Amino acid sequence: MSNQIPQHLLKDRYWSSLLHLFTNHPKLKSVLTTKYFDMSDETVKMQALKRKAAPWSTSERIILNLALHLFNERNKFNLTDLDYLDDNNQQLALEAIKIRFFRR
């Protein structure tokens, strides 16, 4: 699906932080499909993603929750959850946070 992502979404700090996590995390990448994303309408089926993630590992759900929070702050996220991530996932999370808050 990455070849179907409009360029203007890759430049948007909300979309680009979400997409950074979804394109670089194996579990999230597996659900980067039209079942959960409509790039033409620029919508994300957040509740469906959360239902899909119910059986995932804690760290996989943390990354998903971070992605959804960076996209829309109505999705609450506890920063201390980052303590449960391994070094690679912490690095990925910090990159997404930088994209969302520090990219100009």
Q: Which helix (H) or strand (E) holds 22?
A: helix 13-24
The model's pLDDT over 8-47, given as tens digits with 9 standing for 90+, comes to 898 999 999 999 999 999 999 999 999 999 998 999 999 9
Q: Quick one: pLDDT band at residue 76, thresholds 50, 70, 90?
A: very high
- Around Cβ 51, how many Cβ atoms within 10 Å? 10
- 26's CB contacts (< 8 A; 6+ apart) are none
Q: What is the mean pLDDT of residues 47-60?
A: 97
What pLDDT does residue 13 have? Answer: 94
Q: What is the mean pLDDT of residues 67-71?
A: 97
Give the domain ranges of the chain: 8-102
